[in-house]
Amino acid sequence: FCGGAFTLICPIYVSETAEDSVRGVLSSTLALFIVAGILFTYIVGSFTSWSVLSMISAIIPVILAIGMFFMPDTPRYLLMKGKDQEARKALKWLRGAETDEQIEPEIKAVI
């Protein structure tokens, strides 16, 4: 259940927030982590019971879910809702930009 929820949310958030130069790589890593999770499940599952395996497997998704509460909404979503200032603030935070001039070309590309 935890893994399934993130395979829906993660690609959308990454595609809307990642810079063009790294978007493809970040999107591809999702498949890599899914395969690594399956391998982890097979290895750990051979040594533990299914209930312990379920709890161990839920640790990382739960931590990520809690962390997502502190992430800003995507700038594209905020611009669609007419919240231009919030979109600029979110993009500035996501890019680590110091000035609005650094993010203006990207804001204009989304609009």
Tokens of 18: 């990642």
What pLDDT does 62 receive? 85
What pLDDT does 30 receive? 83
What pLDDT does 109 receive? 82
Element (H, E) at 38: helix 20-45
Q: Are 101 and 42 in contact (CB under 8 A)?
A: no
Closest CA to 111 of 90, 82, 89, 86: 82
Amino acid type, 38: I
What pLDDT does 86 receive? 92
The per-residue pLDDT string of the chain (111 residues; one tens digit each, 9 = 90 and over) reads 666 777 777 888 888 888 888 888 888 888 888 899 899 999 999 999 999 998 998 888 888 889 888 989 988 899 999 898 998 899 889 888 777 777 888 888 876
What pLDDT does 2 receive? 62
Q: CA 61 to CA 69: how far, in whole Å?
A: 13
Cα dihedral angle (18, 20, 25, 30), rounded to 10 degrees? Answer: 40
Q: Are 111 and 81 in contact (CB under 8 A)?
A: no
pTM above threshold 0.95: no
What pLDDT does 52 receive? 94
